[in-house]
Amino acid sequence: MSAIRTDNHCKSDELRGSTGKYADNDAGHLQGPRDSSRTRAATLASAAFLTPPGIPAIAAAPGRLLAADDASAAQVADALRRLADAGLTACTLWLPIAAEHVERAMEWLAAEVMPQLT
């Protein structure tokens, strides 16, 4: 199974940083309360499953597909926009496809889907 990451890694302390409560640092140790004058926005991320059109899936997706197997780029972009409208700030696309199809899938996403999201 191949994955395309379109998100940034969010550390656990970033989600709790503006609360003033104790948070874990990178090493997993507790650190003191955060300065409440600093505000950080939380990143809400999720994984979405997608089989690009014309590319066979090698396994069933472990969850609901982002769009139908034969979805157009416009339908995929629309589904991603709806997730963003609901508050999602980052999305990782999981593609249950064979390795030999990854380049073609990436090209389709870059050329057809991503331009509709800007």
The answer to the question of residue 30 being in a domain is no
Q: Give domain status of residue 22, yes or no.
A: no
pLDDT in tens, the chain (118 residues): 444 444 433 333 333 344 444 344 444 443 444 545 555 678 889 999 999 999 999 999 888 899 988 889 999 999 999 999 999 999 999 999 999 999 999 999 999 999 999 8
Residue 64 within any structural domain of the chain: yes
- Kindly state whether residue 25 falls inside one of the protein's structural domains: no
- Dihedral sign computed on CA atoms, order 46, 6, 87, 48: negative
Residue 89: give the domain boundaries. Answer: 2-8+42-117
Task: Tell me the two tokens of residue 35.
Answer: 């300065």
Q: Is 28 exposed, middle or buried (0-12, 13-18, 19+ CB in 10 A)?
A: exposed
Whether residue 48 lies inside any domain: the answer is yes
* Torsion (CA) 60, 62, 64, 67 in degrees, nearest 10: -50
* Chain centroid, CA 28 distance in Å: 24
Return d(Cα 30, Cα 26) in angstroms, integer. 10
Domain-embedded: residue 110: yes
The predicted model scores a pTM of: 0.64
As for how many domains the chain has, the answer is: 1
Whether 13 is covered by a domain: the verdict is no
